[in-house]
Amino acid sequence: MGYDKTLRAPRWVAYQLFRIGPTWQKVTAPSRKGIEFAANPATETGVKNHDFNGIGDGIPREPGQYDRGHMAPNTPIATHFQQAGKLKTFLLSNITIQKHDVNTRAWADLETWSFVSMRMSIRMGG
């Protein structure tokens, strides 16, 4: 992942997913209970949760509103790398503001699709 200090946001992300076991299986997203987004101590910009007040803070969203969206997705990474990987996806350096309907539909579909591919390389950003 590349982080842009000026924008205080992720610039790009790249990762690979490989099949685990004889077949891919669609998995249920790991529980997020008790997990909060956290500042990344490796970044110098000091982005904090309060910088995103009102965006993806647990309040149900309507279409057209915004969420905190993972650049590197939680579900496939947590499935492959367990709790340590899951916690890294909740660093604020890994989020970007996304329209609610994109985050819960198209983006969620991409994350689900990644479980039916034999091998998948993901590169986003610029």
The domain segmentation of the chain, as residue ranges, is: 2-21+35-56+64-125
Note the pLDDT tens digit of each residue in 32-78.
777 888 888 888 777 887 777 767 665 665 656 888 888 888 877 88
Contact of 76 with 17, CB cutoff 8 Å:
yes
Query: Residue 101's pLDDT is what?
Result: 81
CATH of domain 2-21+35-56+64-125: 3.40.570.10
Note the pLDDT tens digit of each residue in 83-121.
888 888 899 888 888 888 888 888 777 776 655 555 667
List the structure tokens of 41.
């101590």
pLDDT band at 23 (very low <50, low <70, confident <90, very high): low
The answer to whether the pTM exceeds 0.95 is no
DSSP SS3 for 50: helix
Q: Which residue bears the tokens 């995103």?
A: 52
Burial (Cβ within 10 Å: 0-12, 13-18, ≥19) of residue 123: exposed
Query: Residue 19's pLDDT is what?
Result: 63
